[in-house]
């Protein structure tokens, strides 16, 4: 489900995105870990894709990783539950675990909306 990367490519992408970002226009690098194809995984993918298209159009990279297909990636990220969304960039790194349908919580966590 996810494309394969070698470590140097990931590092280069990470540095490029971090350096080239101007405030308010940063590129978001997100990884969504799901457990197979099931209604919960599909809902998480749909929810995060909608948020990204509405609030980050043209400035995000979303990689969906099935932990059953790529268990080593999940182990490397210390994924203990699915779905899990990880915001790699912009820093700080953030994790969202479980139900990703709470749009307001995700927007605040991605720093796209101020905390109330």
Average pLDDT per consecutive 10 residues, the chain (116 residues; last block may be shorter): 53 54 77 96 97 97 97 93 96 94 94 83
Between the alpha carbon of residue 86 and those of residues 60, 72, 82, 110, the distances in Å are: 13, 16, 11, 10
pTM of the predicted model over 0.85: no
Whole-number Å distance between alpha carbons of 42 and 3? 19
63 bridge partner residues:
31
Tell me the domains of the chain and their CATH numbers: 7-109 (3.40.30.10)
Between the alpha carbon of residue 1 and those of residues 4, 8, 47, 66, 68, the distances in Å are: 9, 21, 18, 6, 10
SS3 102: coil
């Amino acid at each position: 489900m996810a494309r394969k990367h070698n470590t140097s490519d990931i590092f280069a992408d990470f540095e490029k995105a971090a350096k080239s970002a101007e405030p308010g226009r940063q590129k978001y690098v997100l990884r969504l870990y799901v457990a197979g194809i099931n209604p919960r995984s599909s809902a998480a993918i749909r929810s995060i894709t909608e948020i990204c298209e509405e609030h980050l159009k043209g400035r995000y990279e979303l990689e969906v990783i099935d932990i059953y297909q790529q268990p080593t990636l999940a182990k490397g990220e210390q994924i203990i539950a699915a779905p899990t969304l990880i915001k790699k960039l912009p820093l700080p790194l953030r994790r969202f675990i479980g139900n990703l349908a709470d749009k307001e919580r995700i927007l605040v966590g991605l720093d796209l909306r101020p905390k109330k």
